[in-house]
Structure 1
Amino acid sequence: MISRVAATVGRSAHGIDFSSVDSQPVFIVVLLLSPQSQPERHLQAMNAVYQSLQNDMFRRFLRQSTTRRAIEELLDEADENA
């Protein structure tokens, strides 16, 4: 059972064929989990992820991050600036 919102980020240096509409490879994948009883929290988290990923600099830094800590720091900074 999930008791709070949690997320994990996967990234690919070479991109993944995702059969997307624009035929572009996917470099960043976000898995977002939340309690079934808190759909509003899930939507808030989805919106925060979406807003961050709309920022070119954020995406570039995320793709260039090579450690878990670097990704955590980037996400924390994005959260503070939201």
Structure 2
Amino acid sequence: MISINLQHIKPSVIAKLQQLAQQNHRSLEEEITAILEQVTQENVIAQKRQWSPNFFERTSGAWQGEDLVREVQEAAQEREPLL
């Protein structure tokens, strides 16, 4: 395993990490590992949701079927006033 040495962390950040670790019944190392795993997983998910390159250029205005027509909508319902 790779060892990582973090030398320039603010004492206030360390205190918050220690508090989180205690709340989650983990060691400081386990807490930092859990945070890093969560952040990297969220990053992977965010990347999967991005549009592929030139997606809109390839798809915007690309409909070649019949014109899309919106049906007539009914009148909006009358609602009781809020208190």
Q: TM-score, normalised by structure 1?
A: 0.27
Higher strand share: 1
Instruction: From the CA coordinates, give the structure whose radius of gyration is larger.
Output: 2
Q: RCO higher in 1 or 2 (8 Å CA, sep ≥ 6)?
A: 1
